A = this chain, B = another copy of it.
Amino acid sequence: MSATAAAAAAETLADLLSARYGAVDPPPPGPDNAVIRTLLRHRSVRSFLPDRPLPPGALETLIAAASSASTSSNLQAWSVVAVEEPERKARLSVLAANQKFIRDAPLFLVWIADLSRLERLGRAWGKEMEGLPYLESFVLALVDAALAAQNAVVAAESLGLGCVYVGAIRNRPAEVAAELRLPPNAMAAFGLAVGWPDPLVRTEIKPRLPQRVVLHRETYGAPAESEDIARYDAALAEFSRRNGLGDSAWTPRVLERIGTLAGLAGRHRLREVLIAMGFGLR
């Protein structure tokens, strides 16, 4: 048994739940299996071994997992562009907030909310696709892409690979579309860097909001939300300190990220750019 496998075996479900909630009211351990442990163990990886390729067949397996996700009315309104060429990864990295891990990861997947295939189908059959230019169709494509991508992430992590989503690919959607030669009505929704985690870089499960903040019973209501968030702030500050990320809690980060237009890093223009790219969004 490798050291990693031994460590994984020593982990109890209670440990994983406690880490996931920063020890703030973790639920008692319930059903347990290898899949649930893979899910609970998730951590985003931003340090990859640049020279270690993926296992043979891994990409096709990740995409088969992605294709296995649900899709609204089986419309399958998503695509993915697999980028492995170093020069293209480097250019995409520059477009996506210049994040180094995009260059380091052997594989950069760009997930596309793709209404263009349905548009082409309509054209081939001489049918105007009346439903396409509505916000609903954009929502549907975005959700399809996200469900597919998340299945790929789960598959990747089950193989010991690491991943990180890249929302910054939306900073400059037109330039990204040009780089990937996307047709109109196709948008890079988010990126996903995939590779082998650098074993020298320690990562830890990141605590999330207490369960009762996000889980509502029967109707929406979070009577103790402020107190729960205060406790979460303390847990996240503790996590940050342990991981050399300063002592930042959740609330100040949220206020900075969404409180100011600058936090949107150019994405406040998303609507106008998407319309220029062919989306109706009516």
Taking CB atoms, residues of chain B closer than 8 Å to A84 are: 217-218
Number of copies: 2
- Is the C-beta of A180 less than 8 angstroms from some C-beta in chain B? yes
Q: Which one, A2-10, A194-202, A249-257, is touching chain B?
A: A249-257
Interface string of A1-28 (1 = CB under 8 A from B): 0000000000000000100110000111
A264 shortest CB reach to chain B, Å: 5
- Is the C-beta of A129 less than 8 angstroms from some C-beta in chain B? yes
Contact present for B57 and A70 (CB under 8 Å): no
| C-alpha gap A34/B271 in the complex (Å) | 41
Contact present for B217 and A257 (CB under 8 Å): no
Contact present for B34 and A57 (CB under 8 Å): no
Q: Which of A28-79 contact B (CB under 8 A)?
A: 28-31, 33-36, 38-42, 44, 55-61, 63-76, 78-79
* A157 and chain B: residue at smallest CB distance: B35
17 contacts between A and B (CB under 8 A): A26-B64, A33-B159, A39-B65, A42-B68, A64-B211, A70-B163, A70-B165, A74-B253, A129-B258, A130-B261, A131-B264, A134-B270, A135-B271, A142-B142, A143-B146, A147-B165, A151-B154
